[in-house]
Amino acid sequence: MLDPAARPLAQPAGGELSRQATEILTQAQNLADQLRTEAQAEADAVREQTARNRELNDQLAREVAERRAAAEQAMSSAAARLDEARQDAVMLLSDATEQAGLITETAERTAADVIAAARGEAAKLVEDARIQAATLMNTAKRTESEVHQRLDARVASVDAELGDRRRALESE
């Protein structure tokens, strides 16, 4: 605000004073409208970026779910293969009772290898899916953090600019 005591002003005629006041108010309104438009555009851009981030998060969640389902399917497949191997071993044992010891030993060894391989494969798929899920979530969090930082910086910039313009108007 201008302090009338700090600086005496020549008082213009009543009509001139009204015209100057109207002109100042018009300039202030135009500046406020411009700042409001800029802030609205920035807010719209941030909303669009947030919507894109939400879509990305949703997509990442779907990808994680798909990878989990694939890992579970691989584990189910491994279990089915294990069951098949066990059934084969039982059939071999019933068909060759004379060689029961040898066949049992071979079947157990084969089953253990299949189990170990299936578990190893399933564990690797699950671990790969977990790593990818963690990576995707970290990327989403970083993206969200960057958007918030840019928004905070832009809000601070607009606030500072409004303050500068307000001080400039007050000093006029």
pLDDT digits (tens, 9 = 90+) for 71-128: 889 888 888 888 887 888 678 767 767 886 778 888 788 988 889 888 999 899 999 9
Who wins on pLDDT, 4 or 106?
106
Report the CATH architecture of 14-171: Orthogonal Bundle (1.10)
Share above pLDDT 70 across residues of the chain, in percent, rounded to a whole number: 90
Residues 152, 156, 157, 158, CA torsion sign = positive
CA separation for the pair 93, 111 (Å, rounded):
14
Predicted confidence (pLDDT) per residue in 42-56, tens digit? 999 999 999 999 999
Residue ranges of the domains in the chain? 14-171
The pLDDT assigned to 6 comes to: 47
The three-class DSSP label of residue 11 is: coil
Give me the helix-helix angle, 14-95 and 100-171, nearest 10°.
180
If one counts every other C-beta atom within 10 angstroms of the C-beta of residue 165, the result is 15
Mean pLDDT of the chain: 86
pLDDT at residue 151 is higher than 80? yes
pTM of the model: 0.32
1: Cβ–Cβ under 8 A, 6 or more apart, which residues?
170
